[in-house]
Amino acid sequence: MMRITLFSLSVLGASAYVWPSPKLDALESLRFNQDGHNSGAITVFIEPCGRYLFDGPNVLNSKTGRSDVADWVRTAYHDMATHNVADGTGGLDASIRFAEESLRAENIGDGFNNTFQALRTIANRYVSLADSLALGTIVAIENCGGPEIAFRGGRVDATEPNAPGVPEPQQDLDSHIAAFARQGFTQTEMISLVACGHTFGGVQHAAFPDTVPEINDPNNTQSAAHFDSTFTHFDNNVAIEYMSDTTQNPLVVGLNDTTNSDKRIFGSDGNVTMKSFADSPELFVSTCADLIARMLDTVPREVELTEIITPLRVKPQGIVLSLAGDTLKLSGEVRLWNTTADPQRTVRLLWDDHLGGTGNATLTASGVSSAVAGRYNASWYTFSPDPTNPPDGLVLLLNASAGITSMRFVVDGTLEDQGGVGFAVQDGVVYSETSCSISQASPSPWRMDVAVRDGFNPTRAFLERMSTDSTGRITILETDIARPAQPVAVNADYSIWSINVNGTDAVGTVFYSIGYEVDGVKFAGSNTHFSGGLASCAV
Ligand code: HEM
Ligand SMILES: *[C@@H]1O[C@H](CO)[C@@H](O)[C@H](O)[C@H]1NC(C)=O
Ligand SMILES: *[C@@H]1O[C@H](CO)[C@@H](O)[C@H](O)[C@H]1NC(C)=O
Ligand SMILES: *[C@@H]1O[C@H](CO)[C@@H](O)[C@H](O)[C@H]1NC(C)=O
Ligand SMILES: *[C@@H]1O[C@H](CO)[C@@H](O)[C@H](O)[C@H]1NC(C)=O
Ligand SMILES: *[C@@H]1O[C@H](CO)[C@@H](O)[C@H](O)[C@H]1NC(C)=O
Ligand SMILES: *[C@@H]1O[C@H](CO)[C@@H](O)[C@H](O)[C@H]1NC(C)=O
Ligand SMILES: *[C@@H]1O[C@H](CO)[C@@H](O)[C@H](O)[C@H]1NC(C)=O
Ligand SMILES: *[C@@H]1O[C@H](CO)[C@@H](O)[C@H](O)[C@H]1NC(C)=O
Ligand SMILES: *[C@@H]1O[C@H](CO)[C@@H](O)[C@H](O)[C@H]1NC(C)=O
């Protein structure tokens, strides 16, 4: 088990990877675009911190006594708790999504299913359900009063349930110590990790009717007996209230002592650890940041996690190219980390082309985002020359012959080019606006045209569509786009490959992307954002 030391984003140096790197880019975006512009995939579920999925999106003060934050933190622990340090099996791998695992007595409650309903909207082709669970847990804790937590990506979703092994409240102290030891945690770490988790949420009547009675409170309709008085907020009240004997924690003061597991665990070192947490919020915060990170990084032995994901200082996002006649349309944005809106700032895009030339454009401020409960801001600039004037004002028009090979940015006169390597852009295979509607049938079939740059020579090109396999993992379905027997030139520099696309697939939220392979290396293309309104194909 890897040790993660406490860190602060503010002391980290230069970016850890070079853009573009699709998986790291996607992990970084989910990690650091938490609120505001281009964000929200995670925070929509946890702002405010008392939000509960089943209250609907507009309920600010949940009356259920439940919260998504508590569900997610408990889910992360229960999913991890199957880990066995001796043989490297189990760990945080989203195996708890399988009914066989979630229906075990040790996983009583509906919190796991609740959590996966949210995670399925967060995960994507680059971010597994398990990474989404880890990241959801981190973003939740960070935004609900807790510390920054180091995040690594790369978790792999299990294809079957793990062996049982989650501790239960009626078990004795020795079995809890043994269970945490199997998971890779000492007795002191067990005390700490339980306190770090039980700062959120509580015990529900439905799951534990013998521990928690019906509460009959209109503000707590699911009768959840909370572990501390601030159950949607990360803080050391769980320890303060325990040490001052005012706690209502149902696993401490429950009438049936057999299920008072927190009482046995918290007291198991003579209260030394709990007293230190009650006395020092800083110690509680730093201990939890370390242990939660370790909990989330406890994965099956064969899984290799990435380095800690740190924010890219200058990061392009949503780069899309399409071909229209002799013109390449370029859209996208760039994010400047740790900056706020500043009307005096000038941001310019320079792009290098295939002919040794350079184009340039002044970018327009498009929004501000923030992360870690507002501790970090970022400002965004769009490539759109005239954002108020769609559709033509939304794209930069490039000469298709010259094309584009890479980008650089100049922020208030300072060149940002990733230390000289630039931000590479691939214009070898792009969506072509000669794509057209085949007939008016409903759902309407259409022809997608892909423009392939002469001399680029991909070995294959394919349509990509996101799907899920039988175990719920996100997969990409590929359909080859046939190379035409004779090149069909669309201009002096590109020829067209075509594929007929089923109308049903084009409806709704399914975005196609175009992938291709060059010299045995596979590239995922940018989204095509097909949104209807195609002209009819000429007959
Ligand atoms: C011996 C170890 C543990 C035992 C016996 C235990 C027991 C319990 C029980 C009985 C509940 C009530 C669940 C329900 O009513 O649905 C609960 C809730 C919870 N547990 Fe633990 N727990 C342990 C360790 C942990 C750890 C290590 C964490 C996280 C770091 C954690 C996080 C949570 C959270 C956040 C809730 C609240 C869930 C909600 O309100 O929806 N627990 N725990
Ligand atoms: C963030 O910006 C502030 C103000 O410009 C600066 O003082 C601070 O050092 C920056 N932090 C990082 C991590 O770059
Ligand atoms: C969770 O969902 C699965 C199917 O997704 C279902 O089979 C199972 O019964 C659910 N478990 C609970 C506790 O609701
Ligand atoms: C429920 O909460 C509201 C505030 O959200 C409070 O005014 C009211 O008194 C509470 N009701 C009970 C029964 O505690
Ligand atoms: C206390 O809880 C245990 C475990 O759930 C149960 O076996 C026992 O019957 C309970 N005792 C009483 C007096 O209810
Ligand atoms: C721990 O502290 C609590 C609160 O003061 C007390 O009730 C309990 O007896 C103590 N437990 C041990 C093992 O010292
Ligand atoms: C920007 O592009 C224009 C032509 O569009 C050119 O005249 C100008 O010299 C360029 N400026 C820079 C700094 O490259
Ligand atoms: C982030 O932006 C908000 C709003 O402009 C500002 O109040 C806050 O101080 C900024 N935070 C940082 C760390 O710059
Ligand atoms: C595009 O660039 C090529 C090569 O420099 C040039 O021959 C052509 O005239 C340009 N097209 C337009 C529309 O400017
Ligand atoms: C369109 O549907 C047909 C029949 O269901 C299928 O064989 C074909 O693969 C589909 N095409 C694409 C591009 O998905």
Q: What is the pLDDT of residues 473-493, one digit of tens each?
A: 999 999 999 999 998 999 999
Average pLDDT over residues 349-358: 98
The finding on whether 339 has its CB within 6 A of some atom of ligand 8 is no
Alpha-carbon separation of residue 128 from 278, 354, 469 (angstroms): 37, 36, 13
Average pLDDT value for residue range 205-221: 95
What residue owns the CA closest to ligand 3's atom 4? 99
Q: How many angstroms separate the alpha carbon of residue 350 from the centre of ligand 7?
A: 9
pTM equals: 0.94
pLDDT for 3 equals: 38
pLDDT for residue 12:
42
Write down the pLDDT at residue 437.
Answer: 86
Q: Which regions of 194-338 does DSSP assign to beta strands (E)?
A: 202-204, 224-226, 314-324, 327-337
Whether 113 is in the pocket of ligand 3, judged by its Cβ within 6 Å, is yes
pLDDT digits (tens, 9 = 90+) for 71-106: 999 999 999 999 999 999 999 999 999 999 999 999
- Residue intervals of the chain classified under CATH 1.10.520.10 are 3-305
Residue 295: is its pLDDT beyond 50?
Answer: yes
* Confidence at residue 264, expressed as pLDDT on a 0 to 100 scale: 98
pLDDT on residue 508: 43
The per-residue pLDDT for 530 is 54
Beta strand spans in 387-493 (E): 396-399, 406-411, 414-416, 423-424, 429-437, 446-453, 460-468, 474-481
Which one has a higher pLDDT value, 458 or 526? 458
| Weakest mean pLDDT among 6-20, 136-150, 220-234 | 6-20
Question: pLDDT tier at 59 (50, 70, 90 boundaries)?
Answer: confident
The finding on whether 340 has its CB within 6 A of some atom of ligand 8 is yes
Whether the pLDDT of residue 509 is over 50: the answer is no
Do 252 and 238 touch, CB atoms closer than 8 A? no
CATH 2.40.160 for the 314-424 domain, yes or no: no
Work out the pLDDT band at 323, boundaries 50, 70, 90.
Answer: very high
d(CA 349, ligand 9 centre) in Å: 20
Instruction: Provide the residue type at 217 as one letter.
Output: D
Query: What is the per-residue pLDDT for 61?
Result: 76
Q: What is the pLDDT of residue 532?
A: 55
The class level of CATH for 3-305 reads mainly alpha
429-530 homologous superfamily? Immunoglobulins (2.60.40.10)
Contact 360, 350 (CB under 8 A): yes
Atom of ligand 2 nearest to the CA of 11: 13
Confidence of residue 524 (pLDDT cuts 50, 70, 90): confident
The bridge status of strand 364-371 relative to strand 35-36 is: antiparallel
**Mean of pLDDT values over 108-115:** 97
pLDDT band at 5 (very low <50, low <70, confident <90, very high): very low
- Residue 256 CA to ligand 5 center (angstroms) comes to 6
pLDDT surpasses 70 at 11: no
Q: What is the pLDDT of residues 122-141, one digit of tens each?
A: 999 999 999 999 999 999 99
Query: From CA 32, how far away is CA 340, in angstroms rounded?
Result: 15
| Secondary structure element (H or E) that encloses residue 290, with its range | helix 281-296
Average pLDDT value over all residues in the chain: 93
Structure tokens given for 206: 């439905």
Q: How far is ligand 7, taken at its centre, from the CA of residue 358, in Å?
A: 8
Tell me which of 271, 272, 276, 277 to substitute to probe ligand 6's pocket, judged by most ligand atoms within 8 Å of the beta carbon. 271
**Which protein residue's CA is at the shortest distance from atom 3 of ligand 4?**
219
The number of the ligand nearest the C-alpha atom of 268 reads 6
Nearest CA to ligand 5 atom 13: 256
pLDDT greater than 80 at residue 444:
no
pLDDT at 148 over 90: yes
| pLDDT at position 457 over 60 | yes
What is the whole-number distance in angstroms between the Cα of residue 405 and the centre of ligand 9?
A: 16
